Structure 1
Amino acid sequence: MKGALVQRHVPRLRSDLNRLALEEAVPSPTDVSPSNPGITKQTFTIPVVIEHNDMLLTLRSDVLAHTDDVLDWLLKGSNRLNGRAIGSPDFRGLFRVTSNRVMFQKIGLPRKVADANHLAFASRVNHQSPMWMGFADQQTDGSGPPAITTFQGNSSARLTTARPGDYLADGAIQHLSHVIQDLDQFYSVPDEPFTERVQYAFRSDPIPSIGNKDQFKNGGGPAFLKNLFLGTNDAFKNAAGINTFEGKHRMGHLPALQRSSRAADGTPIHIRMDGPGFDSLDIPNKSNQPKLQFTVFVPTADFFTRMRRNQASLDLVKAHGVASDDNGLERFITATRRQNFLVPPRSHRSFPLLELSRDHH
């Protein structure tokens, strides 16, 4: 990161030419961390670790056995691929796996996993949702075009000094985090009916839906709600209790993010690629727990840091007396790992900058 080659080719922030688009991840304001004294969680008070992995490998398939097959061949020396004898590559110790995180994504699959594992809250998970918390991520409304997430950006937003033709012009930053979801608390009866959960995830001005008569069965309301952008000031209105459901001071996850997640013309400046998980990674008693295997493509590390800080919106929460129980999703999630990765453009995806090194032969 501090070498001359990296300093010369990684774009810089247009807002601060002394900073690179690639920076180390930092704890968010509601992560358990020495930098956040006083932050605890009801169930999973686990400090976040800022990781220092050299590479992130993502394998995707509709069949888990296929990804396992590729991993065994690529990194475990199985010498077999798709049932055929094919020699595994000999990396000679180049790679050491630090974690393996399985993410699944399908309409209704979290509910099926909850049922199969006899989780106490299973009947309260919406049977149509692809996510643990019962709502579908509306990527068509909440994600930007690919170009806006790159270093050179597009006509809606350009956050770095990258220009067309630069070595990393079409590169991006990928943030990866491992998040435990406290769903026993999120689906608590009678404390957390649908009307509460939908305000945590969306907003209160107005509440997107008041749900069903039975506020808990199958989620208690619809899984599919529009991801509306009501302006960067919407979080303030929620916190100030302006036209909110029941007149309360609230903070919704969505308007909090939208304080900085979109360009001036309303275009999202990120693309998410995350989904649910269910495993024992970082769980003290080694039990399997619902996870969010979070990952997102953004044009700068600083952009994600600001967006995640706004997700917590502790400034508005404090200024307007929002109860900690009404601050979005923050009390239900524990991030245990974070890292930012450089995503080089396809033309330089493997060993970026190597051919420009003086030591390259």
Structure 2
Amino acid sequence: MSDGPSRGIDRRAFMKSALAIGGASALSACLDRTSDEDVPRGTTETDPSSLPERQHAWNDALARDDAGNPEPVQHRLLLLLDYDGDGAPSDADRRTVADALDALERAYAWRHDGLLSTMAYSPAYFDRFETDLPESVDLPAPTALASFEDPALDTPDAILHLASDHAHVLLAVEQALTGETDALNGVSVDATLTDVFSVAQRRTGFKGDGHPADNQDARGVPTSKPVPDDAPLYMGFKSGYTETQASEDRVTIESGPFAGGTTQHASHMRLNLEQWYEQDDREARVGKMFCPYHAEHDVVEGAGDNLGTDAAMSKAKPAAEAAETDGFVGHSQKMFGLREDGRPLILRRDFDSTDGGHAGLHFVCYQRAISEFVATREAMNGDDLAGDSPLGRRDNNGILQYIDVANRGNYLVPPRSLRALPTPRGDA
């Protein structure tokens, strides 16, 4: 049995809660309701080359909606990891990490209903080495990116992003990586990440139609005006339209020892959904998420499944013009001004969460250089649009007033062949 949407609201909420709690008891409870029977086995034992060298190459492994947009993977787990050794990692530790990650891909197919992952490393990790990263890698330490935010700056050595349509797969993988089980989906697991790392923090979440509505028992969610039943995200609208995302080619590092890799930003944002749903009516929410044109002309049906592959953003006027004539600008409208060959610079794989008991968003994105994410965030801030218009730093300025950035972290995602404790120069 699948633990996807077809199994009903109670089941989805249960799986989300089990993943958020974690541990052997949560896995056992999940397995009482499901099994690995429908989870495809990996193929790397017979054909290791079947997996892409780009860890971030997920798109071909995702389901598609009626318009051809990639569907989000429903359940997510982020493990922030601290290396237990002193100084630069040893070759023995490197083999252990490689074996632990390889076991996951023998156990589960590289696809949305199996398991997808990226293993990435922070600037703090590379500070362990005497040599620096090459100029082809833009990986600064994280920092606050707006005058009105004061986030905690994450500095683990590594971060493992795990995604599956089956919550119990992520729980089982976590148990295997921490040495609590020695088999996954019938495949033996002989090495664990916790032989090398300590888990500094775990973050969990979900994305997809109905999941936010099933998880409204969190702070920041209004009881008087609940999240729409069909919404894939807490704020009520679809995201991830093909043409509002960078391609995987565009975010890939092109040269140097980490060619085929990418950079990753991961931030945690708390959402003020009480203000979003109780202060604003649907027309205002559509205008602030997309643009004033979409609100005025009733362009968005439901969560936005009717908007094709580009969210119909070609209808939007330039953000500066909207700020002057309409008195507010939409979030997507601001992003539309920062594009290359008609598409953004970053590839988002964000998801909602109730970590800490509060409705939130884990904003995970990939880009060739962290500077491109910084430029994207500056466009979202819209400081250049305010001027003499009614826009403030946050009011009438997209969705800024409804989010609070709690954490930020920057990482390098090496190509698959270098994902086990890489050196700054990509040495074997």
TM over 0.5: yes
Which residue of the other structure, out of 136, 140, 155, is the alignment partner of 1:23?
140
- SS of the residue aligned with 1:114? coil
Deviations 1:9-54 (A, max 9, x none): 340xxxxxxxx52212221215422xxxxxxxxxxxxxx1111111
Aligned length: 297
- The residue type equivalent to 1:73 in the other structure is A
TM-score by length of 2: 0.62
After superposition, residues 300-339 of structure 1 pair within 5 angstroms as 300-323=369-392, 324-339=394-409
Are 1:135 and 2:237 matched, yes or no?
yes
TM-score by length of 1: 0.73
Which residue of the other structure, out of 200, 213, 220, is the alignment partner of 1:98?
200
The offset of 1:86, in angstroms, is 5.2
CA distance in 1, matches of 2:226, 2:267: 26
Which residue of the other structure, out of 222, 225, 229, is the alignment partner of 2:302?
222
Where does structure 1 lack aligned partners over 5 or more consecutive residues?
A: 12-19, 34-47, 153-161, 213-220, 242-247, 281-287
After superposition, residues 10-159 of structure 1 pair within 5 angstroms as 10-11=135-136, 20-29=137-146, 31-33=148-150, 48-75=151-178, 77-82=179-184, 89=191, 94-114=196-216, 120-121=222-223, 123-152=225-254
The residue number in structure 2 matching 1:343 is 413
CA distance in 1, matches of 2:148, 2:352: 19
After superposition, residues 164-313 of structure 1 pair within 5 angstroms as 166-188=256-278, 191-207=279-295, 209-210=297-298, 222-224=302-304, 226=307, 227-230=311-314, 234-241=318-325, 248-260=326-338, 262-263=339-340, 265-280=341-356, 288-313=357-382
Deviates more, 1:296-305 or 1:52-61: 52-61
Is the Cα–Cα contact under 8 Å of residues 229 and 266 in structure 1 kept in the other structure?
no
Deviations 1:135-192 (A, max 9, x none): 001432311221111122xxxxxxxxx3xxx32122211110111111111111xx31
CA distance in 2, matches of 1:6, 1:122: 54
Deviates more, 1:136-145 or 1:171-180: 136-145
- The residue type equivalent to 1:315 in the other structure is D
Where does structure 2 lack aligned partners over 5 or more consecutive residues?
A: 1-125
Is the Cα–Cα contact under 8 Å of residues 25 and 305 in structure 1 kept in the other structure?
no
CA distance in 2, matches of 1:114, 1:86: 38
CA pair 170-208 structure 1, distance change in 2 beyond 3 A: farther
Is the Cα–Cα contact under 8 Å of residues 22 and 340 in structure 1 kept in the other structure?
yes
Is the Cα–Cα contact under 8 Å of residues 331 and 398 in structure 2 kept in the other structure?
yes
CA distance in 1, matches of 2:180, 2:234: 34
The offset of 1:87, in angstroms, is 5.9
- SS of the residue aligned with 1:68? helix
Percent identical: 23
- The residue type equivalent to 1:22 in the other structure is L
CA distance in 2, matches of 1:344, 1:94: 18
Let me know the Cα RMSD of the aligned residues: 3.0
Give 1 or 2: higher helix fraction: 2
Is the Cα–Cα contact under 8 Å of residues 79 and 86 in structure 1 kept in the other structure?
no
